[in-house]
Amino acid sequence: MEIISFATDLASPGQRRARVGAPLPGTRYLLDFERAYSGERPADRIAWLDMDGPWFGAARDTYDRLVADPSFVERAAAEGWLVERDGASILAPVPRPGKIVCIGLNYRDHAAELKMAVPERPIVFSKFTTAVIAPHDPIVIPPESAKVDYEAELAVIVGRRAKRVSSARAIDYVLGYTVFNDVTARDFQSVDGQWQRSKSCDTFAPMGPAIVDAAAVRDPHALGIRLTVNGTTMQESNTDQLIFGVSELIEFVSATVTLEPGDVIATGTPPGVGAGRTPPVFLRPGDVVEVEIDGVGRLTNPVVGG
């Protein structure tokens, strides 16, 4: 199952309400989790991503029934549970996560590119959640920055509350994976002496288009990952180059920070970032950036001036 957030047009022009659901393979429909649920709906849409909550289980059961019994699809459509794909806009899969936890210098080939030692422990930082944007939304270059860079990353979406989780059990806490672009203002990063502002400008956290179920990703440490700017490949590697894998990161972070459903862990970027090139290559208005991860999806965003 792939989980998406989407919006449909309402009666009032221009007003849109985010919903959570899943595309139904081989059909023109999206399952709307809320419309298909007969009980009391959660107040917070992130509750649909809680693997231990009643809403996620009910949504999965409905999805599995629809996939197993195609004759049930038209009945579900008549009941109002489904939405036409053509009438929906795809949002970021977690439009406002509780936390975006990021990992720095986590690819062996990227460390080698920078001629830096492999870290002994994960380097953790964060992005403000207001930076999140959807596929095809524009990355906006602030007028104050002339050195905005791209970073292709595999992101982990947490599916249950995690505190002091061992690496042996960590995968049980993963809802799924999505594509992430850790956009960074390198000039801010340089002058600030720390990374928060440079990583958290509005629009600097594109992600999506979907959360791919963890069960559908056989090995998150064997995925091709690449990024192009205007069709030119700038980054290309494999998640087998991760220094600290998904389980290790969950163990490390959850030792001191409680992870919650819908939290995002961006696992780091491979070599080829613009700041590391000779001469450096930074994003400009009119560029189109695409990040693709095998089995997870493709994330496309245009770049505009602020």
Give the list of residues 6+ apart from residue 300 with CB closer than 8 angstroms, or none.
135, 136, 288, 289, 290
- Reported pTM: 0.96
User: Pick from 216, 237, 242: which is nearest to 297 by CA?
Assistant: 216
Does domain 100-305 sit in CATH 3.90.850.10?
yes
In the chain, list all ranges with CATH 3.90.850.10: 100-305
How much is the pLDDT for 109? 87
Ordered per-residue pLDDT tens for the chain, 306 residues: 999 999 986 544 455 678 999 999 999 999 999 999 999 999 899 999 999 999 999 999 999 999 999 899 999 999 999 999 998 999 999 999 999 999 999 998 888 887 788 899 999 999 999 999 999 999 999 999 999 999 999 999 999 999 999 999 999 999 999 999 999 999 999 999 899 999 999 999 999 999 999 999 999 999 999 999 999 999 999 999 999 999 999 999 999 999 999 999 999 999 999 999 999 999 999 999 999 999 999 999 999 998
Q: Which 8-state DSSP code applies to residue 253?
A: H
Output the CA torsion sign for 70, 76, 77, 78: positive
The reported pLDDT for the residue numbered 16 is 63
Q: Do the bridges between strand 152-158 and strand 88-90 make them parallel or antiparallel, or are there none, so unpaired?
A: unpaired
Using the CB atoms, write b or e for 202-239: b if 16+ within 10 Å: ebbbbbbbbbbbbeebeebeebebbbbbeeeebbbbbb
